[in-house]
Amino acid sequence: MATFRLSDAQVASFWRDGYLIIPKHFDAEEMDLLLRIGKADKALEAESNGRLDAQGGISRLALRNNLSENDIYSAFVRCHRIVDPMEQLFGDEVYHFHHKMMIKEPYIGGAWEWHQDYGYWYKFNHCLYPDMASCMIAVDRAHKGNGCLQVIRGSHLLGRLEHGVTGQQTGADMERVNAALARLELVHCELDPGTALFFHANLLHRSDQNKSPDPRWTLICCYNTKHNDPYRSTGGHPTYGYLDRIDDARIREIGKKQLAAVEGKVAVGAGA
C-alpha cells in the first residue's frame, strides 16, 4: 500500500504559513486524464453553478458531497498522496467533507472575494473547531493573469473572522482583511498542472477575475477531522464517515475507464 509522508520541514511550513505547496505532486498523465474528463463530462457541466463576484463577474463551480467508486474526482479525494499528509498535519483521521471543480473560463471567469473556508463551515455547517483543510490541485496552469489563488501568509493564526454577503459570495470583514494585508505578506500562488496546495481552513484567500485567454480549472478536495464532526446535521456536507483510501495507481485506472465512457457518450451525442 503506497503512502506519502511530509518532511518535518514541510509540516512546520504549513503551520507557520497556513499553506504548503508541493510541485509535481501529480504527474502529467494523471492531469491529462483529469482535464480531458472534466472538459467532456456533461454531468459536471450540468451541475456547475455560477457565483457573482462584487463586480458582477461569474465563476463556476461544481460541488459534490458524495464520492463515487467510478470517477476520477473521487479517486483524487481518496488517494494516499492527499489523505496521508492531511492526517499527518492534523494528527487525526480525516474524512471527506466535499470536493469541487472550480472553473474560470477565459476572459469571463469571475473573482472570489477574501474569505476563510472556516467562515462558511462555522456558520453554515456547525463545525466547532477550524481543524479542517483543503488540497487544491492545479488542473490548468494557474497564474496572475487567469486569476490564480492569492493568500495572506500566516493569516490562519488570526482566528476566524466575521463573514458577510459580498455579491453572491460570503466574504470576510474587509476592515480586518486590510489590517492583515498591512502586516502580513500577500502571496500569488502560481501553480503548474499537477501541483498541490494544502491550505488551512482559516487561511485568508481570494482570486482575481480571469482576464486572460487561458482557462483556470482547479480541483479542490476538502476534509474535516474526525474529532470535529459537526455537532448537528449540516444540511449539506456530510458528517463523519470512514474514508476508504485507494492506492495512487488507481487514479489512472479509474480515469482511463471514465475517459472512455465520457468520450464515448460525447461521440454518440455528436452523431445524433
Q: φ, ψ for residue 264 (rounded to 5)?
A: -65, -40
By the 10 Å C-beta count (0-12 exposed, 13-18 middle, 19+ buried), 195 is classed as buried
The pLDDT value given to residue 168: 61
The β-bridge partners of 123 are none
The CATH number of domain 16-265 is 3.40.50.300? no
pTM for the full predicted model = 0.93
Contacts 24+ apart (CB under 8 A), 41-47: 41/262, 42/262, 42/265, 42/266, 42/269, 44/101
pLDDT exceeds cutoff 90 at 152: yes
Cell of 100: 469541487
Do the bridges between strand 186-189 and strand 132-138 make them parallel or antiparallel, or are there none, so unpaired? unpaired
Mean pLDDT, to the nearest integer, of 75-85?
A: 98
Mean pLDDT, to the nearest integer, of 56-73?
A: 89
Helix (H, G, I), strand (E, B) or coil at 69: coil
The pLDDT value given to residue 54: 65
56 pLDDT tier (thresholds 50, 70, 90): low
Q: Quick one: DSSP state of residue 161?
A: P
The pLDDT value given to residue 268: 41
- Alpha-carbon gap, residue 109 to 171, rounded angstroms: 18
Of 217, 221, 152, 224, the closest CA to residue 188 belongs to 152
Compute, in degrees rounded to 10, the torsion defined by CA atoms 43, 144, 132, 169: -70
Q: φ, ψ for residue 92 (rounded to 5)?
A: -155, 160
CB 242 within 8 A of CB 95: yes
Mean pLDDT, to the nearest integer, of 257-267?
A: 82
